[in-house]
Chain A
Amino acid sequence: MTGPPPRARMIGSMPFPFHPAGDDPVPAAVRGFSRAHADLVELHEDPIHVVARHRAPGRRVGLVSGGGSGHEPLHAGFLGRGMLDAVAPGPVFTSPHNKAVLHASRAAAGPAGVIHVVKNYTGDRINFGIAAERLRMEGVDVGRVLVDDDLATDGLDTATGRRGTGATVVVEKILGAAADTGAGLDELTALGTDVAAASRSLAVASRAQTSARTGEPAFALDGELDYGVGIHGERARASIPRPPTEELVARMLDELVAGLPDGPDDCVLVVNGMGATTLLELYVLAELASAGLTERGLTRAGLLVGTFVPALDMAGFSLTLTRMQPSWKDHWAAPAETAAFPRRTEETR
């Protein structure tokens, strides 16, 4: 024996144990997703984009989103009647090419145009922006809703602004239901922008996601929490000793409420897992955060619990609060026929 055979070495070096040979999981995963939900979506390759099979007959504006992969079920899981019309998944943590966004948008565009729901990252802004310019050259009207809800990046001395994270699901849900009423491009763009502006999120990690380069956690936490972590494992400004869960939730809610612009007391609360946190824990967090809202004089217009915008296999969670205008509540409660959004919110029961 002169050492392990090459094949064993290759498998041993794969940072994620169940990635396919070659180690790019995205094309195979998108095919698998499309096969599993063939009643809802249709896969297109070269460039990869996924298109919803059904849309409300009254919808005049197509809704398109996309971004780096590693945040599943975002965005393909929200394809379907009541939410998105097409998505462009990029490589892991990397913006899709403008060509994929262009093809998704062509497939989704309605008679009154198409809206891009874009999380605020430079690569996504540029690639969706180039696709939007190309669509305009083709005579398609394009609107953009930028989601920038991450409180941890608020007020940093930078021109890039807050990151887009968990509120993306709230924006896509409300915008989708509003689009089904036949609303036009400008009205929907303004609505989506308002929903994003009324939303703030905060995320904590107890263990970093696995690095695709080393197979180890992307950063070490040594029993502490990264408080204000990003969905690509961007480090927070501070790590903190682990407080009791009740104290952690209270601190996060205090900061979210302080960071939100003024608005109605009625809030949607999203308790989102970062990839490796159990539902058992997420429901504990939902119960604590729900009670915390009441203690702060806020009412709950909706509660969404699950893993919707993770960072690969990071252990942690995020809380999102959206101050709900009265006219948004029906949109939140409307059914969504998608792979990942619970068809009925608690209010529709």
Chain B
Amino acid sequence: MIDQDAVLDRFARAVEDGHGALTDLDQHSGDGDFGDNLRAGVRHAVGLAERGPRRGFAALGEVFLDEVGGTSGPLLGLLFTEIARALTTAHGATGASGPADDDLAALASGARAGLTAIQRVGEAEEGDRTLVDALAPAVAALGRDGYAAAATAAREGAERTAELTARHGRASYLGERAKGAQDPGAVGVALLFWTIATVAEPGADLPSPLPAAA
């Protein structure tokens, strides 16, 4: 049973904790605003969820699509929205959680739809040093091996971006110079799957995907 309110709260805390590290990463490879954008979006989503009726992933989706600037924010909004849609389809609009297997299947299909939409819009493949490098392996692992495996696959995918050269986004202007640090969008995605796993399987002891802030 996945508690969407708990996911949102835990994700908000993780993003607050990770703000410095994400900002450092984006100053290395982008324009430095990813940590700010992610934190502002998550804070706004928490407020929206408290006012209702949208909760959890639906609140995240609406805020990241409508309010967050830059390009990676709205792309994440597509992922949140597709997950929210899949969970709603599985359990109805009340947000009530059903059997755990149904949740996992719905989350996996929503994340897969989100990945498809993000790739259609962003035209990025695995290996292009984008958030797809964390999301694609996480989606594959989620449907096959469950929450913890998805969190691990996302973290490892994000770690691999440190050795990749960007073809899209602002990091593409830097070429080889962006190497050495992970892509902040990929780390953000890894943080999301880490959050989902720690909520869904409280016993699992998963390492945080956040690199130490410089």
Interface residue ranges, A against B (CB under 8 Å): 97-99, 122-123, 125-127, 129-130, 132-134, 137, 159
Contacts and interface: CB of A to CB of B under 8 A. Distances in A.
A126 B65 contact: no
Which residue, of B85, B117, B121, B168, has the highest number of chain A Cβ atoms within 10 A? Answer: B121
Given A126-B74, A127-B74, A130-B77, 10 more contacts: A122-B168, A123-B71, A125-B121, A130-B65, A130-B121, A133-B117, A134-B65, A134-B81, A137-B82, A137-B85
Contacts of B168: 122
Q: Could you tell me the dominant secondary structure of chain A's interface residues?
A: helix
27 contacts: A97-B69, A98-B74, A99-B65, A99-B66, A122-B168, A125-B121, A125-B123, A126-B74, A126-B75, A126-B121, A126-B122, A127-B74, A129-B121, A129-B122, A130-B65, A130-B74, A130-B75, A130-B77, A130-B121, A132-B121, A133-B78, A133-B117, A133-B121, A134-B81, A137-B82, A137-B85, A159-B167
A130 B69 CA distance: 13
Contacts of A127: 74
Interface string B149-181: 000000000000000000110000000000000
B48 to A, nearest CB: 15
Contacts of B121: 125-126, 129-130, 132-133
Contacts of A129: 120-122
A79 B136 CA distance: 41
Nearest to B116: A133
A121 to B, nearest CB: 12
Contacts of A123: 71
Given A99-B65, A134-B65, A137-B81, A126 B71 contact: yes
Contacts of B66: 99
Which residue, of A123, A132, A137, has the highest number of chain B Cβ atoms within 10 A? Answer: A137
Nearest to B128: A159
A246 B183 CA distance: 52
Interface string B62-88: 000110010100110110011001000
A98 B64 CA distance: 11
A100 to B, nearest CB: 10
A298 B78 CA distance: 48
- Give 8 closest A-B pairs by Cβ, nearest first: A129-B121, A133-B117, A130-B74, A99-B66, A126-B71, A98-B74, A130-B121, A133-B78
Interface string B89-132: 00000000000000000000000000001001111000000000
B185 to A, nearest CB: 13
Nearest to A95: B71
Contacts of B81: 134, 137
B167 A130 contact: no
Contacts of B167: 159
A205 B121 CA distance: 33
Contacts of B74: 98, 126-127, 130
A97 B122 CA distance: 15
Given A130-B78, A133-B78, A98 B65 contact: yes
B120 to A, nearest CB: 7
Nearest to B122: A126
A123 B75 CA distance: 12
Contacts of B123: 125
Contacts of B75: 126, 130
A159 B74 CA distance: 22
A47 to B, nearest CB: 9
A185 B47 CA distance: 40
A99 B64 CA distance: 11
A85 B18 CA distance: 44
A99 B77 CA distance: 12
Contacts of A126: 71, 74-75, 121-122
Which residue, of B69, B78, B82, B167, has the highest number of chain A Cβ atoms within 10 A? Answer: B78
A316 B177 CA distance: 37
Contacts of A134: 65, 78, 81
A125 B82 CA distance: 20
Contacts of B122: 126, 129
Nearest to A129: B121
A106 B122 CA distance: 22
A156 to B, nearest CB: 14
Contacts of A137: 81-82, 85
B30 to A, nearest CB: 14
A126 B72 CA distance: 10
Contacts of B77: 130
